[in-house]
Amino acid sequence: MPTTPATAANSSPNGTMQPILLELVDESGHTIGTAEKLSAHQAPGQLHRAFSVFLFDEQGRLLLQRRALGKYHSPGVWSNTCCGHPYPGEAPFTAAARRAHEELGVSPSLMAEAGTVRYNHPDPASGLVEQEFNHLFVGMVQSSLRPDPEEVGETAFVTAAELAERHARDTFSAWFMTVLDAARPAIKELTGPAGGW
């Protein structure tokens, strides 16, 4: 993992990784503490800060990723461009740009905030729970993808119509439609009326 001010805080002096901490928040999104990542996702879940990114190409197609099979949570399912959790004290925008680069090897352009959404989505397969206060971002991807195979199993650019077909056929993350619907106003503003989003 690249060393940034946020990741440096999660490394010990000898270079070994410490447990990853998430920011716990109240219903208004104010930070109230921290919790270890896995424990925050164990039922019934602890409300924590997260982010979801939706990147589009110049034709207005959404970049989807299929999560790598080795991921501990929701492996092998399709989801939005990328998602994750800011480190304690890390701005959600910074975390979203960082993870887009770490997972997909791209730096988003024109990335903008698209609101927040709070949800509670259990994952039937793992028993883990997503209790999240999620910061949404939309933007463009204008460079070649270089996915990290430990994070991303597959990628696809889809139109709104192709997404509907794929969503009816394939397995998606439990949170996907919640975050997509919450981000739609910003997506429509980014892609224009002809995009169909």
Catalytic residue positions, numbered: 83, 132
From 175, 176, 144, 174, select the one nearest 157 (Cα to Cα): 144
CA–CA gap between residue 37 and residue 35 (Å, rounded): 6
For the four alpha carbons of 48, 127, 68 and 17, in that order, the dihedral sign comes to positive
- 54's CB contacts (< 8 A; 6+ apart) are 62, 63, 80, 81, 114, 136, 137, 138, 139, 179, 180, 183, 187
